[in-house]
Amino acid sequence: MKSLKVSLLAIAATVLFSVGANAQEKKPTTTKPAITTTPAPQKPTSPVTWKEISYDFGEIKKGTPVSHDFSFTNTTKQTVIITNVKASCGCTATNYTKTPVKPGETATVTATYNAATAGNFSKTVTVSLNENEVPKVLTIKGKVIDTTPVNQ
């Protein structure tokens, strides 16, 4: 009787082991997930075309302020308004067209750097147009040279 129990137990273990091994050998059935595509976000189109967005003054004398006019043309059928112009620091002053810019018209944003400190500089002016437009960042750069003679 004891040997019968041992034999039954051995058979049961063999069956369980064999079922477990078969389950591991079978590769799970996978279905490819449905491919969903999200359209790429559309790059916001600007209502204006800038003539340039960066200007290099090159070398300038210390203490001599320099200015550059950035201009744009309204390329839409809507009127464009410059709502805000902000320089990256107090060393740069700005001025800009304050009247609405009708389709086809040109407007300007002037950036003036005071050149008070010798060395390289790179400053930005952020221009906001209309209410929901992405602001445009304009850059001025150059190198201020100290031309004052050194006493010997």
Is the pLDDT at 41 greater than 80? The verdict is: no
Span 71-78, mean pLDDT? 94
Q: Report the number of distinct structural domains present in the chain.
A: 1
In a domain, 84, yes or no: yes
Span 86-103, mean pLDDT? 95
Span 68-95, mean pLDDT? 95
In a domain, 55, yes or no: yes
The conformation of residue 1, written as its DSSP 8-state character, comes to -
In a domain, 100, yes or no: yes
DSSP β-bridge partners for residue 49:
73
Provide the residue range defining the domain that includes 139.
48-145
DSSP β-bridge partners for residue 135:
none
Q: Which of 15-29, 75-89, 114-128 has the lowest mean pLDDT?
A: 15-29
Q: What's the pLDDT band for 47 if we cut at 50, 70, 90?
A: confident
Is the pLDDT at 135 greater than 50? The verdict is: yes
Per the listing, tokens 């003054």 go with: 57
CATH number at residue 96: 2.60.40.10
Mean pLDDT of the chain, nearest integer = 81
pTM: 0.68
In a domain, 58, yes or no: yes
In a domain, 88, yes or no: yes
In a domain, 43, yes or no: no
In a domain, 85, yes or no: yes
